[in-house]
Amino acid sequence: DDSTYEAINIPEAHFHLIKEIIEDKGLSGFNVTIPHKERILPYLDEIDDQSKTVGAVNTVKIEGGKWIGYNTDGIGYVTGLKQAYPDLQNAYILILGAGGASKGIVNELNKHVRPKLTVANRTMSRFDNWDLDINKISLSDAEKSLAEFDIIINTTPAGMNQNKDVAISLDQLASHTLVSDIVYIPFKTPILE
C-alpha cells in the first residue's frame, strides 16, 4: 500500500484553487479542517446527510472524478465522549465555538443522547443559520456560568498549533467538570493545562 497522510496548508486567499491543488497531487481523498469545513461545500459534487444537516464537511473522498463530502466530526467525537463520560444522557454540556465541528458534535449529541446543550460563541450572529434545538449564549456569559456544566468542549481554534489563547477563562470551573478539546496539535492545549 502506497498511501500517505500529510498536511497541506491552503491559505484562505488561495482556497479558490483547491480543485487544482488536490487534482495536481492525484489524491483519492483528504480531510478538511478549520477554517475550511464550510468553505469546501461549493467545490463538492455530493455531500452526505450529516453534512447537509450541519452545513460542514471534514472528509472528502474522490471517486471517479466526483468529490463526495462527509462529516464525521460528530460521530467520532461523541463515540469517545461516551467512553469518557458514561452518564452522558444526564450531562449539562457547554460547547465553545459555533463552527462546522461544533455543529457536527451538537447534531450527533441531539440524535443519540439529548443532553442539555448550550453553545457559546464570541459572535452571536454565527448562530443565524443554526437550525438546532440548543441554548445559545455569548462566551462572556458562558464564563460566568461555568459551574453549571458537567462537560465543556472546546471547538474553537484557540490553542491550535502555536496559538496560546484560550476561548474562555476556566477560573469558575466546577471540580467535577470534564474539559475536552477537539484541537489535537498540540496534544495538551492551553485550555487543558
138 strand-pairing partners: 121
Calpha distance 146→118 (Å, rounded): 11
Reported as half-sphere exposure (CB side, CA atoms, 13 A), residue 141 has a value of 13
**What stretches of 33-138 show up as alpha helix (H) in DSSP?**
49-54, 73-84, 100-112
Element (H, E) at 120: strand 116-121
- State yes or no: is 37 an active-site residue: yes
For 124-153, b/e burial (b = at least 16 CB within 10 A) is: eeeeeebebebebbebeebbeebeebbbbb
Walk across the sheet containing 59-63 and list its strands: 29-31, 59-63, 66-70, 46-47
Nearest CA to 56 out of 76, 78, 75, 32 is that of 32
Is residue 116 helix, strand or coil? strand
Q: Which of 25, 37, 144, 188 is catalytic?
A: 37
Active-site positions read 37
